[in-house]
Amino acid sequence: MINLAIAGASGKMGRMLLEACATDKDTALIAALDAAQSPAVGVSARVFGGNVDVNVSVDAAALPRGAVLVDFTRPEATLAYVDACVKAGVGMVIGTTGFDDAGKAKIAAAAKQIPIVFSPNYSVGVNTVFKLLELAAKSLDSSYDVEIIEMHHRMKVDAPSGTALKLGEVIAEAQGTKLADRAVYAREGHTGARETGAIGFVALRGGDVVGDHTVVFAGIGERIEITHKSSNRTAYAAGAIRAAKFLQGKTSGLFDMYDVLGLR
């Protein structure tokens, strides 16, 4: 049995995680966390989809050693949870995106003391797309221009999405390059001809779109498109629960969904 704590319990993803935990016979909800200013603090997790009378709290430091905290919140909150989990000896499943290099380095350092799964997307389908892109990127040379188009709901605060960036990283690495050397995040005005080898990004925001991602390989005379669309957050929650189970018995290490799904 995996003892789980869910961060951001009253949010959209938090509720999905609570529901996923409630229906999984191998997990037990032991804590639900939220920001100190949240009106959910002190309210039973049952209100948000949990199946036990655990009140939402703010104290991650009180989690028992060996538990796993699942966190899909915001970078500043996640990094505070990282500190608390290291002190408490609690593993983490991190689905938060939008970290800068310093934030990523802090997570990597924490993983030397606690086990962490850190992935921009926990959908099994999306991670399968990552694997497909490795094959496509190795097969298609620089005569195929790469564009990544993503769309999310109007409330998303980072762009491009963490998943879109990961798509670009997968392609660049499969071709023996670095995304930082190839990424183009904005085009405006008289830009001139497209630079060979560039990986372009387009970020769309609107409505309640959960997450759509399309990678276009545009060649001369043909175009290949690989698309993944999410209609709800169920797949992300299920993947996160699977990741939490993967951490059982591990004392440290930085992992991603390739490790969880055995795709390496």
Catalytic residues: 152, 156
Two tokens, residue 80: 């505070």
Sign of the torsion formed by the C-alpha atoms of 132, 134, 140 and 143 = positive
Q: What residues contact 90, with CB distance under 8 A and at least 6 apart?
A: 5, 60, 63, 64, 65, 66, 67, 68, 69, 84, 114
**CA–CA dist 257, 120 (Å, integer):** 9
Two tokens, residue 196: 């060979």
| DSSP alpha helix (H) spans, 23-147 | 75-88, 101-110, 124-139
**CA–CA dist 51, 9 (Å, integer):** 13
Taking Cα atoms as reference points, which of 106, 68, 74 lies closest to residue 88?
68
Two tokens, residue 188: 């405006």
For residue 5, report the phi and psi dihedrals to the nearest 5 degrees. -120, 140
Radius of gyration of the chain (CA): 19
Number of residues assigned to the chain: 264
Angle at 148 between CA 146 and CA 149, to 5 degrees: 145
